[in-house]
Amino acid sequence: MLGQKANIQFIKLSSLIIFGLTIVSLLMDWQQTYFEYSIEPLAIVLNKGFITALFVTLAAGTYLKLLSKESGDYFIKQFSLSFMNGVVKMVFAGLVYFMVVFELSTQISSRLGNDSLAVLSVLSYSLIYLLGLIKYSSYAGLASLQKVLGLSTLILLFLFPMFNGFVQGLRNGVLYGNTNALFFILNYINVSLIALLAIRFIKNSKEWYGLNSMNGKAVVWFVSIIGLIVLSMELHHITNLLFFDVQLQNMNFINKQTVKIGYPIVWGLSSFVLMLVGMKYKFRTLRIISLTIFSAVLLKLFMFDIKGASEGGKIVAFILLGVLLLVISFMYQKLKNLILEDTPINENKNPEE
């Protein structure tokens, strides 16, 4: 404030140095609070790490507000005002994110002793936080930030299936009676959030590139594949929750049957839905994805799943395959039109609407 009124460069530089030292001090407090072993559990929220972070975050917000009142192009000789605004905004956003992440993961791990639940809780917060930033960037019209968040979304969508190991840990805890079944709802919250994020990613890609462009088609393929992987993983969790027996220890059998029977059903339904949406919006890419998934189902059924079938089952399967091929041959002209017709979807109308 004094630096603004007197426009004294030394005072402005001093405020910047003090702000930087405050961040360093906070990092040291976080290391002592959250990363050093302690027998006594931390007080919830009312601990040094979180309280210090809260005050530093408020200070960063105040510093940002003061920067907005600055006039001229430069904050000090070395740094432009726009650069300083960008840096402090990133610091503020980082503080808001990490102060909750560290507190959340530490409290759940120490009090509930469930690392899988802690990781999935952090994932939930991360997804909510990213959706909030995307909403803010759209409202504020920050195109550059939207592109950065788009890249973050792409990375998170790619990484999401890798969290399945933690979901399995949580699920197995429920099955063996070590974890409250209500905690598993967190998995479905995460799936819902990642679905919202995927929809937003497709909408933004449509605005940036158009879904009929090379980039737009790549995004639709990518999201479809990730969606199919997530559906397949969730099918395993559902079948295990429904049919697992502690005495029989039949988890391995359930997983094999899920792959053999459940996958074709889920993939076939997904193919059907994609075909309907692709036909409704005259979007060729979705129809091609649908037919690709359907082809994968056929290959899986008649090259892998049929191996364990009886002789009678194999005969019936091949008869059905022959009938199916005949039907496809009669529908060839229609299928060809579905694939080859290139009527672009209205780029001003969302496919999801």
Pairing type for strands 79-80 and 74-76 reads antiparallel
Give tens-digit pLDDT for 174-222: 999 888 999 999 999 999 999 999 999 999 998 888 888 999 999 999 9
Give tens-digit pLDDT for 29-47: 899 888 887 777 788 888 8
Q: Give which of 298, 295, 301 is closest to 339, Cα–Cα.
A: 295
CA 339 to chain centre: 30
Give Cβ neighbours of residue 125 (< 8 Å, ≥ 6 apart): 100, 101, 104
C-alpha distances (whole Å) from 234 to each of 155, 173, 253, 295 are 20, 16, 17, 22
Q: How far apart are CA 303 and CA 295, in angstroms?
A: 12
pLDDT averaged over the chain? 83
Q: Give which of 351, 353, 344 is closest to 220, Cα–Cα.
A: 351
Q: How far apart are CA 38 and CA 343, in angstroms?
A: 64
Q: pLDDT at position 327, please? A: 57
What phi, psi does 167 have (nearest 5°)? Answer: -65, -40
Q: How far apart are CA 94 and CA 55, in angstroms?
A: 14
Give tens-digit pLDDT for 63-116: 888 887 777 665 666 667 777 788 888 999 999 999 999 999 999 988 888 899
Q: pLDDT at position 350, please? A: 46
For residue 334, what pLDDT band results from cuts at 50, 70 and 90? Answer: low
What are the beta bridge partners of residue 79? 76
Is the pLDDT at 296 greater than 80? The verdict is yes
Measured torsion, CA atoms of residues 147, 148, 154, 155, in degrees rounded to the nearest 10: 170
DSSP summary character for residue 246? T
C-alpha distances (whole Å) from 238 to each of 185, 228, 264, 283 are 12, 15, 16, 32
- pTM for the whole thing? 0.83
Q: How far apart are CA 3 and CA 344, in angstroms?
A: 57
